[in-house]
Structure 1
């Protein structure tokens, strides 16, 4: 793939797919060549709006298109497993939106499939790719705030009240945790790894998905992560990484920051500005293309092991608060989170 643009196929035609394509348009070494939808009309509308050369009336036709190097899956997350599996079976590299799957069992199935045929696979978790988060991790690793001891993060919004909406439908993986809580959990995992204990408190809708969930994660060295998510409360969307010699604060939109502040001795010691490009999707796309050109089958920034580990934490949280999806009956994780 050296010497020519990486050719993208877009699986899905919703809002997220459109934003991703707009960001790809800013990259001279990326080319969107095809889009696939479950309806001809949907594919045609998207192709016309974003000037995509080829519109496919099915996912199967998209992944069979040999003009496509890598497929970006932007469908609702209840369909991620089927869509990614279809692309992998066709021999395509895949970038799949978060949450990667509904549960860790589905994720393990996809990872095993990709590794069996040496195919590239990555979760589109932009938090791990944006420059400011990467810089934050470097500073924490260099001891800028001493020994990191605590992470605090929240992501809550007032979501739709219609019980038919996907955020409130168990069959579609509804609830706050998978849509929003995945970001605080990912930040904590990025800094502390896997917890050894999980405490939870959740409030559920009459339909069985979580409206609000609180999590307290404990780690072997005594570190803690206090995390919250909600679809009925507009929370600050902020995060803080606290250590023995200071803290780093991320403002509203911590999952895609362009700046953060380092505090020492109770005062601002440094304001770090590391802007993201475009809408923030650019950085995960650049990482995918870097990996493909290097012949890698997974990204060192968003490893498959980390993706599965985060889903195991989310599975454990759901188990504790009583949220169960129909897909859980079929896809069991053979190595569940032990806590």
Structure 2
């Protein structure tokens, strides 16, 4: 009978506690704060917003002791060790650089920045300062993804032939919403498509060729992008990735080789069981997740806290070079479909 490897991901509660500051109290920041409170020993000691009222409301809702009425005050807070940057993509680089300058370790919500040029500047600053810096691509740190990594390392599928992943959600068109606003680095790709792009990168590496097709919204951001990646180092594999902000898609992922394939069900980027289907023998499914839904954000926070405690500046599960390469891939995809942000050539 086929058996799957066990996840090696530690309990998030076992990670040493950091004193966190939340920069920009939006929806993802709320999910992050709830996950840390429920599943870790991490401490959120402060929140900062451009609005004093928003900071105070967020602090009250999440039991945070200090609410700062500016981002600068948060970064000046000596009790804050690490900052979680949860603002729109267009602000990530500016705010991550400010946090690095303030001597804070920085976890930057994905997409890491709005383009590769900004990503390189942030990485260079962290390298020079000896600061721990990581993109908050939470999928990388989930237990089922560790099982997948082990299957790939063991060659259980044989030489990979295809990788596919999609992520689409339906948003009502609204020029005032950040996803439809070029000035906020809106569009499907950076918010949703980064998941399948990052998944393909994890499995196959950086593609030598990117062929993308897409459509734009009336405001000029990418509405839908589909792409084929190929010419991976030492591989003849293809990756197919799709994203849209106009329809709810299945949000599944799959990896296929001559010996087996792996299916990841809907919301593949969250804690889910994976299904391993060998060419011969019976399929087997990994255990149901212990932590579900957005509670899985606890794993990335715990991983980050361990990096800081160990004096490591980047994660082996998502190194800086790969974060930069993913941004470069998405730059090429946007360029091919004509989606440009203000100030870009």
Q: Is the 8 A contact 2:16 2:306 kept in 1?
A: no
- If the length of structure 2 is used for normalisation, what is the TM-score? 0.91
245, 262, 265: which one aligns with 1:231: 245
Report the aligned-residue RMSD: 1.7
Aligned: 1:324 with 2:340: yes
Equivalents in 2 of 1:85, 1:15: separation in Å?
Answer: 22
Equivalents in 2 of 1:287, 1:4: separation in Å?
Answer: 10
Aligned: 1:216 with 2:218: no
Question: In structure 2, do the counterparts of structure 1 residues 134 and 328 end up closer, same or farther at CA, with 3 Å as the change threshold?
Answer: farther
- The equivalent residue for 2:185 is 173
Question: In structure 2, do the counterparts of structure 1 residues 272 and 208 end up closer, same or farther at CA, with 3 Å as the change threshold?
Answer: same
Question: In structure 2, do the counterparts of structure 1 residues 266 and 232 end up closer, same or farther at CA, with 3 Å as the change threshold?
Answer: farther
Equivalents in 2 of 1:145, 1:306: separation in Å?
Answer: 23
Q: Cα offset for 1:19? A: 1.1
Q: Is the 8 A contact 1:130 1:276 kept in 2?
A: no
Count of equivalent residues: 328
- If the length of structure 1 is used for normalisation, what is the TM-score? 0.93
Q: Is the 8 A contact 2:16 2:309 kept in 1?
A: no
Q: Cα offset for 1:255? A: 0.9
Residues 86-144 of structure 1: CA distance to partner in whole angstroms, max 9, x if unpaired?
A: 11111100001000100000000000011111011001001111110121111122122
Aligned: 1:95 with 2:107: yes
Equivalents in 1 of 2:68, 2:170: separation in Å?
Answer: 35
- The equivalent residue for 1:309 is 325
- The equivalent residue for 1:336 is none
Equivalents in 2 of 1:284, 1:327: separation in Å?
Answer: 32
Equivalents in 1 of 2:282, 2:63: separation in Å?
Answer: 47
- The equivalent residue for 1:190 is 202
Residues 215-267 of structure 1: CA distance to partner in whole angstroms, max 9, x if unpaired?
A: 00002421100110001122110010001111000000011132011112377
SS in 1 for 2:38: coil
Equivalents in 2 of 1:247, 1:203: separation in Å?
Answer: 31
Runs (5+) with no aligned partner, structure 1: 330-339
Q: Is the 8 A contact 2:132 2:308 kept in 1?
A: yes
286, 295, 298: which one aligns with 1:282: 298
Equivalents in 2 of 1:4, 1:33: separation in Å?
Answer: 15
- The equivalent residue for 1:154 is 166
Q: Is the 8 A contact 2:48 2:73 kept in 1?
A: yes
Aligned: 1:299 with 2:315: yes
Question: In structure 2, do the counterparts of structure 1 residues 173 and 146 end up closer, same or farther at CA, with 3 Å as the change threshold?
Answer: same
Q: Is the 8 A contact 1:102 1:327 kept in 2?
A: no
Q: Is the 8 A contact 2:45 2:64 kept in 1?
A: yes
- The equivalent residue for 1:13 is 25
